[in-house]
Amino acid sequence: YYMTNLHKWAFTPPAATLFYAKNPRMSTAKIKGEIHHPIVSWGWGQGMKEEALWAGTRDYTPMLCAPVALKYLKDWRSPDEKEQTVQAHNHFRVVAAALMLSEAWGTEIAQPVETMTSMAMVQLPHELEVNDKPGEPGGGIRDILRCRYGVEAAIGNFGKETGNFVRLSHAVYNAPSDFERLRDAVLEITATANDA
């Protein structure tokens, strides 16, 4: 099975989720103890599909947007790169951004290029002190990037042996200048810290 949120990649309002099950039993499991939605209101015991349908009182706008958003993603083609699909466009652009950042910072990319889809991990400059915990917003370099430079980036210190990384994420609304701003901000923060 495959489950994902649609708010980032498909541009729906938050709360829209896609659940695909190759095996029909995954979505229609009715036997007690099988798969259940974590928040159930109406539909308890009627299978994942019914249990997920009415998960309390909420605005159903995100779910109503999902079909149009998925069609948009299917039909979208990049205007500047020989009619690439969303997946090809995002892969091409995130690879270019990762290579540009690693070269500018004198660091490594954390994964082989062929394994990148629309996301990549790039090591931050070795001399930059990073105390940000992976996956936890707040404080540190992430806040400096957001507050001083208007750059939103996931930053993480993975320990001395592994190092500090930024997680890049490319969607169709990103431009190369977004990653150039990140590059320049990190270089400036590093230089300022070294001068102090």
pLDDT tens sequence across 27-77:
555 544 566 666 656 676 776 667 666 655 567 788 888 899 999 989 988
Q: What's the burial of 132, exposed, middle or buried (CB within 10 Å: 0-12/13-18/19+)? A: buried
Residue 141, pLDDT score: 94
Collapsing DSSP states into helix, strand and coil, what is residue 88?
A: helix
Model's pTM, two decimal places? 0.76
Beta bridge partners of 155: 166
Q: What's the burial of 1, exposed, middle or buried (CB within 10 Å: 0-12/13-18/19+)? A: exposed
Residue 60, pLDDT score: 79
Residue 138, pLDDT score: 75
Q: Which amino acid is at 180?
A: E
Residue 31, pLDDT score: 47
End-to-end CA distance of the chain: 52
Which residues contact residue 149 at a Cβ distance below 8 angstroms, ignoring those fewer than 6 apart?
181, 185
pLDDT per residue, tens digit, the chain (196 aa), is: 677 778 777 888 877 777 777 766 655 555 445 666 666 566 767 766 676 666 555 677 888 888 999 999 899 888 876 778 998 999 999 999 999 999 999 999 999 999 998 999 999 999 999 999 887 777 799 999 999 999 999 999 999 889 999 999 999 889 999 999 999 999 999 998 767 5
Residue 101, pLDDT score: 98
Short-list 150, 151, 149, 153, CA closest to 122: 153
Residue 36, pLDDT score: 66
Q: How far apart are CA 39 and CA 118, in angstroms?
A: 30
Q: How far apart are CA 165 and CA 143, in angstroms?
A: 15
